[in-house]
Structure formats: structure tokens, C-alpha cells
Amino acid sequence: MAESSRSQVFRDGLLDGAVVVVSGAGSGFGRETALEMARLGATVVGCGRREEPLAETAELAAGLPGAFAHETLDIREEEPVDAFFARLLERHGRLDVLVNNAGGQFLSPAEAISPKGFRTVIELNVTGTWLMSHAAATKAFMPGGGGKILSVTLSPHNGMPGMVHSGAARAAVENMMRTLAIEWSRFGITTCSIAAGQFATETLLTKYPREVVENLEHSIPLGRTGRPEEIAWLLAYLASPAGDFYSGTTITIDGARDNWVGPWPPEQVRSASGSLPAEERRNAG
């Protein structure tokens, strides 16, 4: 516990006094982000659809410098979202950062996705992000003089076969953040998207086909999947004063997967005596 009670990257007390909402705080990126923010002194309010995972996060947060509280919440429902922020402001009097992490999708060929399945992914990723962002802005950030909205999306951006519903949803969120960065700048609100590539989360390791999981690291130029805490570190940085001038952009964190598939040079152009084919080496010489 001693090791996990301190951040590996940032100074103690970096987020002292900050109030942060993290959706999807019961697992994966959301849990790691909530814990990192609490390590840095923030008061974190996590939400999610199921109580049990949130309670597990609360147990892990016990004894950290900050605090972690949680509520169950379906971010797709307007009235519960509004009530969530009303209670938060009643208890804490302010909100500094909203992390829109909750989302979801399933792997499927496009032709096999039903209208209901497509709507479900759009409602969770797009409608949910909008309702949370709108409520945070109108109820907390605008009256309070500003705040930050950080929305987790996906990489790569050049098309993800089997994920057309999620690709459409995450593109919508990224454009939403770009637009709100302009419209709400007059209220002191900044917005960013964080496009996450392939990370070794429990969901990835247990919910996706073994063939997909075993070959993921071979598709990433850096040769490995990401670690969930690396997303948490980036979000903590953006939540801190160091992130105050980031707005209207998408930050991609994916080991260069957005730019290329697999290692460089590819195996088919390698040779036993060097990284270039023999003919290219002769030409280079």
C-alpha cells in the first residue's frame, strides 16, 4: 500500500483542493485516474452504472491523501445526471475537472450490428458525454468561473474494422470537444480529447478474442500495449495547472499506432545483415 499511496510521477499535493468527477471509475482507465487524482490530493467523485466496482475503487483509495466518493449513475439519463451534479455542488461547493471516461463498444462486423446495438453505443459514448459535459458546464463551471472537460476517446483514427459504431461515436466526441473549446472559452472552460490506443486493461484482456489480444502488441510501433496508469498520468497532468492552456485538441497516446501498423522496418523488407534490403543498402552506399 505504501508504494501505491504515492504518485510515481508528480509532486505530492499537486491537486490539493481540486474537485474532480470521473465517470466509469469502477475499472480500467477510470479507476486508475481516480486513484491517481486522489494520490495527488484531489477530492474525486466517481460514478458508474454498477455499485460493486465503484466500491472496489473506494477500498483501493482508502488512506490516500485525497478522497474518493462514488455514486451509481447512468450517464445517458438527463434527470439523474442533473441530480448528480446538484448533489456534488451541495456537498463540495465547486467542481474543477470532469473526466468523461465512461464508454463502451463491442467487436462486430459492421453488417452484423443491429440498429439497437448502434444506438446503444452512440447513446453511451456521445449522448452520455454530452449530458455530463453540459451539466458540469451549466451548473458548475459557468457559475464558478471555469473548469476543464477531458474526454477519453479512441485511436487509431484511420478506421477500425469491427468498431464502426465506436469509431463514429468517438469522432463525434472529439469534434464536440473542439467545438465546445471555442464556444465555452468565454466562460473559462477548456476541453480536450484523449485518444487512447491499445491498453492492457482487464476489459481488453478478458472480453476480446484471444487472437486479437495476442497480436495487439505486434501492431504497435513501440512493440507493446499501453499501461492504464499512463492514461491516468496524462489526465492528471491536464487536470493540473500545467494543463491550463490545452484546449480544443485531441492528444493521442498509442505508441505511434495512429501513424503506422506494426514495427519499422517491416519484416518483409528486413535482411539478415541489416534493416534495409541488400539493394537499398548498396544504393545508400
Q: Which residue has the cell 475503487?
A: 57
Q: Which residues contact 42 (CB under 8 A, 6 or more apart)?
A: 15, 16, 17, 18, 19, 20, 66, 97, 239
Q: Per residue in 63-120, pLDDT tens?
A: 999 999 999 999 999 999 999 999 999 999 999 999 999 988 888 999 999 999 999 9
Please give the average per-residue pLDDT across 119-142, as a whole number.
Answer: 97
Predicted structure pTM score = 0.91
* Residue 284 scores a pLDDT above 60: no
Q: Identify whether the C-beta of residue 164 lies closer than 8 Å to the C-beta of residue 110.
A: yes
Task: State residue 208's pLDDT score.
Answer: 63
Looking at 49-188, which runs of residues are DSSP E strands?
Answer: 67-72, 97-100, 147-154
Q: What is the DSSP string of 209-239?
A: -HHHHHHHGGGSTTSS-B-HHHHHHHHHHHH
Q: DSSP character for 88? A: H
Q: Which of 62, 55, 53 lies closest to 27 in space, CA to CA?
A: 53
Q: How far is CA 150 from CA 20, 53, 59, 190, 277, in A?
A: 11, 22, 25, 8, 45
Question: What is d(CA 225, CA 228) in angstroms, rounded to the nearest whole number?
Answer: 10
Coil, strand or helix: which one is 56? helix
Exposed/middle/buried for residue 174 (C-beta within 10 Å: 0-12, 13-18, 19+): buried
CATH of 19-260, one of 3.20.20.450, 3.40.50.300, 3.40.50.720, 3.40.1360.10: 3.40.50.720
Distance CA 55, CA 223 (A): 35
Q: pLDDT tens digits, residue range 30-54?
A: 999 999 999 999 999 999 999 999 9
CB half-sphere exposure, 204, CA atoms < 13 A: 18
User: Residue 256 burial (CB < 10 Å; 0-12/13-18/19+)?
Assistant: middle
Identify the bridge partners of residue 71 per DSSP, sorted by sequence position: 47
SS3 of residue 23 by DSSP: strand
Residues 218-242 have pLDDT tens digits of 889 999 999 999 999 999 999 999 9
Q: Could you tell me which of 114, 252, 236, 246 has the C-alpha nearest to residue 170? A: 252
Q: How confident is the model at residue 267 (pLDDT cuts 50, 70, 90)?
A: confident
Q: In this structure, what is the dihedral angle of CA atoms 150, 144, 96, 249, given to the nearest 10 degrees?
A: 20
C-alpha cell at 58: 473506494
